[in-house]
Copies of this chain bind each other. A is one copy, B any other.
Amino acid sequence: MPTITAARSWYPDYDPAHGFAHIRRVYNLCERLGREEDANLKILRAAALLHDAKSGPDVREEHHIASAEFAQQVLHAEGWPDDQISAVQHCIRAHRFRDRTEQPQTIEAQVLFDADKLDSIGAVGVVRALAYAIFNGQEVYFSPSERFLSTGEREPGEPHTPHHEFIYKLRHIESQLFTPSGKALARQRHHFLVHFFEQFDAEINGLC
């Protein structure tokens, strides 16, 4: 079983969006949801520790594919049987919000998906969306246009900001989770997230 200490070395030292703090939170959420959903915790813990291991800017393949391949190497070297390695790889390949070609079929894959997505909403979701934007030099203060709100297409010159990411992706996460325990946790985080961007927009526009 990969240890938390070993896993730490697979992630960058400083990345508030996708660094090891994210992995630890997803790991803890997997423990919690995994018990409630009666999932195989060995599969789930390995999947949690490995799910973003190959996600740096040098990854040409999509990070979920590259991380699943890396998981194969790590677990094979540890002597895991092939069926368990495949189960971990399925969790990792199916965790990506933007790629739905492989849907989570097992309860372990559904729990990893939900745990990973829970860490994208709530106050932590706000922090990660901001950290990603700031790391990538994106604008932070720009209210989405009417056009973007109604069609998802930006006006000419309209930047992509954390608020745009909220409209495009983050506000839809709650409705796309799989497990009852994940959905129960998501409700309050979702409402907090919505409240945050409403308040942010109102302050930016001098309404409160």
Instruction: Assess A122 versus B206: contact at CB under 8 Å? Given A16-B134, A134-B135.
Output: no
Counting every copy of the chain, the complex holds: 2
How far, in whole Å, are A205 and B140 apart by their CA atoms in the complex?
A: 27
Instruction: Assess A196 versus B32: contact at CB under 8 Å? Given A137-B14, A141-B16, A185-B208.
Output: no
In the complex the two chains form, is A188's CB within 8 Å of B206's CB?
no
CB distance from A127 to the nearest CB of B (A): 6
Q: Indicate which residue in B126, B185, B188, B206 contacts A126 across the interface (CB closer than 8 Å).
A: B126
Majority SS at the chain A contact face: helix
* A21 interface residue (CB < 8 Å to B): yes
Instruction: Assess A123 versus B200: contact at CB under 8 Å? Given A16-B140, A134-B131.
Output: yes
| Interface residues, chain A, with chain B CB atoms under 8 Å away | 14, 16, 21, 25, 28-29, 32, 122-124, 126-127, 130-131, 134-135, 137, 140-141, 185, 188-189, 192, 196-197, 199-200, 203-204, 206, 208
